[in-house]
A and B are shown apart, each in its own frame.
Chain A
Amino acid sequence: MQKFKETVLAPFLFVVALFVLWELICRGFSIAPTILPSPSDIWVAMVRYWDPIVSNSWQTLFTTLAGFGLAIVFGLLLGVFIGWSKTIYGALYPVMIAFNAVPKVAVVPILILWFGIGTVPAILTAFLISFFPIVVNVATGIATTEPELRDVLRALGASKLDIMRKVGIPRSMPYFFGSLKIAITLAFVGSVVSETVGSNAGLGKLMLDAQAAFKVELVFAALVALAVLGIVLYAITAWVEKRMTGWAHRGDNQGV
């Protein structure tokens, strides 16, 4: 009951209160809907533009997940590769940092130049922005294997691959799943940014068009759709993390 209160009731009430306050401010100060539409205006817009919102949400969801999927595959492979040896780690790390420091929105025009306006640049932007935390986390998890444990296995004649398979990779899994929560959020940002800069579909594009047509309530309706989508994606990833690496989240120590 206490848990329900903390994790369901309290956040729900807070959100409701937030919207009520927003509504009251809009009405109380008679703020023009072209500046800040009230929640009820947004609701009306959502109902009215339901079809384009849903179809563009699917597009954004698709590009986000495709980019995220690529990021998982490449992030895992590159992370294992970098964690494999100190030399590789040392050689690639500065490049990775430099790469990550480049704002990805600056890359989108290049991607559009190469692949044209459409789905591909959005997927690639989502991928480029989200694979870095996966790589870093996997590599860190592997590189921080206890030296004593390494010695135990090496003394038994274990090869580097053995140590990686038995210890390195499993022990990096909590880092990996932890990074997914960050990566999915970033992939989402990447998709929307790319859609906003140059695309023919997606919530980003919808917002851009709505803004150009001065349909401010539709801009906000799309914003709400983005928020909902973001929460759902994050929640799914967090749930997967908890399921996959329960051993790393032991909570109360039940030791004897």
Chain B
Amino acid sequence: MKIGAPLVELKNVSMVYGSGQNAVKAVDDLTLTLHKGEFIAVVGPSGCGKSSMMKLISGLMPVASGSLTLEGKPISGPINKVGMAFQASNLLPWRTATDNVLLPLEIVQPHRSQMGSKREEYRDKARALLESVGLKGFTEKFPWQLSGGMQQRTSICRALIHEPEILMLDEPFGALDAFTREELWCIMRDLHAQKGITALLVTHDLREAVFLCDTVYVMSDRPGKIVKIQKVDLPRPRDIEVTYTQHFQELVQELRSHIGRH
């Protein structure tokens, strides 16, 4: 995947929860660039403001100071160009996998107004996306009929269906068992390669960050600051085997040494 021009740029951004005496600084002096087609990870101790950063970029929370731009334009509100997936799949239990994936199209224009006339077309698209992540035969199942890994794949499909500019993943594999997690790493890797997605992954798992990403940012304890930027020079496509190599281990150890509480 070739890395293109800067897409999202954060310069000396800080963000505050609450106001007055109760104000808590969540992130401080954050500078970070996400290029088009790039896959970056943000790692750090829990409570360091990683999720707050996601809220900033998706326009859900305003910046307190500094500049935050998408393609050069400041982000001031929800930007419907992001897709999000979280640790909990948050699927709607009354909808099938396909209908869950369709949800963003019922919100985002121009799809929203075409939902009536193009519903079948959209359903086909959702089904094709689900099948591309290995859910053939499960597209009409309800969430409770799917395993945890399948639910998470559906959730990622939902984040991708409206072809967002940025995919934001907040510990999406955190609740899965080790084998399923590695399986989903590979699915994520393939989606990134095939669709040229720009993605931001928030995670605790350093191996996950190194395996999937081009650049890994290490954040400090709250208020979060970037303390280390690590380029991952492992050639793509990467196989799971790469995680057993010496170089991979060195990268992980290097990142680990920058995270507090050694």
Given contacts A155-B60, A158-B107, A166-B103, contact A148 B92 (CB under 8 A): no
Query: Once bound together, how far apart are the Cα atoms of A173 and B93, in whole Å?
Result: 12
Q: How large is the interface on A (under 10, 10 to 19, 20 to 34, 35 or more residues)?
A: 20 to 34
Q: How far is the CB of A149 from chain B (nearest CB, A)?
A: 4
Given contacts A148-B88, A256-B146, contact A247 B58 (CB under 8 A): no
0 or 1 for each of B64-100: is its CB under 8 Å from A? (1 = yes): 0000000000000011101010101010111000000
Query: Once bound together, how far apart are the Cα atoms of A254 and B94, in whole Å?
Result: 15
Query: Within 8 Å CB of A167, what residues of B?
Result: 92
Given contacts A166-B103, A255-B144, contact A155 B80 (CB under 8 A): yes
Query: Within 8 Å CB of B25, what residues of A?
Result: none
Given contacts A155-B79, A247-B142, contact A146 B162 (CB under 8 A): no
A103 within 8 A of partner (CB): no
B108 within 8 A of partner (CB): yes
B246 within 8 A of partner (CB): no
B92 touches A171 (CB 8 A): yes
For B79, B93, B142, the residue with the greatest tally of chain A CB atoms inside 10 Å of its CB is B93
CB within 8 Å of A: which B158-198 residues: 158-159, 162, 170
B59 within 8 A of partner (CB): yes
Interface of B is mostly: loop
A170 touches B60 (CB 8 A): no
Query: Once bound together, how far apart are the Cα atoms of A171 and B94, in whole Å?
Result: 8
Query: Once bound together, how far apart are the Cα atoms of A245 and B94, in whole Å?
Result: 8
B82 touches A155 (CB 8 A): yes
Query: Once bound together, how far apart are the Cα atoms of A248 and B92, in whole Å?
Result: 11
A157 touches B78 (CB 8 A): yes
Given contacts A166-B103, A247-B94, A255-B144, contact A155 B78 (CB under 8 A): yes
Given contacts A146-B90, A166-B107, A247-B142, contact A152 B84 (CB under 8 A): yes
Given contacts A167-B92, A247-B93, A247-B142, contact A151 B147 (CB under 8 A): no
A209 within 8 A of partner (CB): no
B106 within 8 A of partner (CB): yes
0 or 1 for each of B118-145: is its CB under 8 Å from A? (1 = yes): 0000000000000000000000001011
Query: Once bound together, how far apart are the Cα atoms of A171 and B60, in whole Å?
Result: 23
A153 touches B92 (CB 8 A): no
B147 touches A156 (CB 8 A): no
A7 within 8 A of partner (CB): no
Q: How far is the CB of B159 from chain A (nearest CB, A)?
A: 8
B104 within 8 A of partner (CB): yes
CB within 8 Å of B: which A119-178 residues: 146, 148-149, 151-158, 162, 166-167, 170-171, 173
B55 within 8 A of partner (CB): yes
B144 touches A155 (CB 8 A): no
Q: How far is the CB of A207 from chain B (nearest CB, A)?
A: 44
Query: Once bound together, how far apart are the Cα atoms of A255 and B97, in whole Å?
Result: 13
Query: Once bound together, how far apart are the Cα atoms of A248 and B93, in whole Å?
Result: 7
Query: Within 8 Å CB of A151, what residues of B?
Result: 55, 58, 60, 84
Given contacts A152-B90, A156-B80, contact A166 B106 (CB under 8 A): yes
Q: How far is the CB of B182 from chain A (nearest CB, A)?
A: 19
A34 within 8 A of partner (CB): no
B107 touches A153 (CB 8 A): yes
Query: Once bound together, how far apart are the Cα atoms of A158 and B106, in whole Å?
Result: 9
Query: Within 8 Å CB of B142, what residues of A?
Result: 247
Query: Once bound together, how far apart are the Cα atoms of A151 and B82, in whole Å?
Result: 11
Query: Once bound together, how far apart are the Cα atoms of A247 and B142, in whole Å?
Result: 8
A87 within 8 A of partner (CB): no
Q: How far is the CB of B149 from chain A (nearest CB, A)?
A: 10
Given contacts A151-B60, A247-B94, contact A157 B84 (CB under 8 A): no
Query: Once bound together, how far apart are the Cα atoms of A151 and B92, in whole Å?
Result: 14
Q: How far is the CB of B185 from chain A (nearest CB, A)?
A: 21
CB within 8 Å of B: which A47-82 residues: none
A253 touches B58 (CB 8 A): no
Q: How far is the CB of A217 from chain B (nearest CB, A)?
A: 50
Query: Once bound together, how far apart are the Cα atoms of A68 and B86, in whole Å?
Result: 41
For A148, A170, A173, the residue with the greatest tally of chain B CB atoms inside 10 Å of its CB is A148
Query: Within 8 Å CB of A245, what residues of B?
Result: 94
11 chain-A/chain-B pairs, Cβ below 8 angstroms: A152-B86, A152-B158, A155-B60, A155-B79, A156-B78, A158-B107, A166-B106, A170-B92, A173-B94, A247-B94, A250-B144
Q: Which 8 A-B pairs have the closest CB atoms?
A: A155-B58, A157-B80, A149-B90, A148-B86, A247-B94, A156-B107, A158-B107, A250-B144
Question: Told that A156-B78, A166-B107, A255-B146 touch, could you supply 14 new A-B pairs with CB distance under 8 A?
Answer: A148-B84, A151-B84, A152-B86, A153-B103, A153-B107, A154-B60, A155-B58, A155-B82, A156-B162, A170-B92, A248-B94, A254-B144, A255-B147, A256-B146
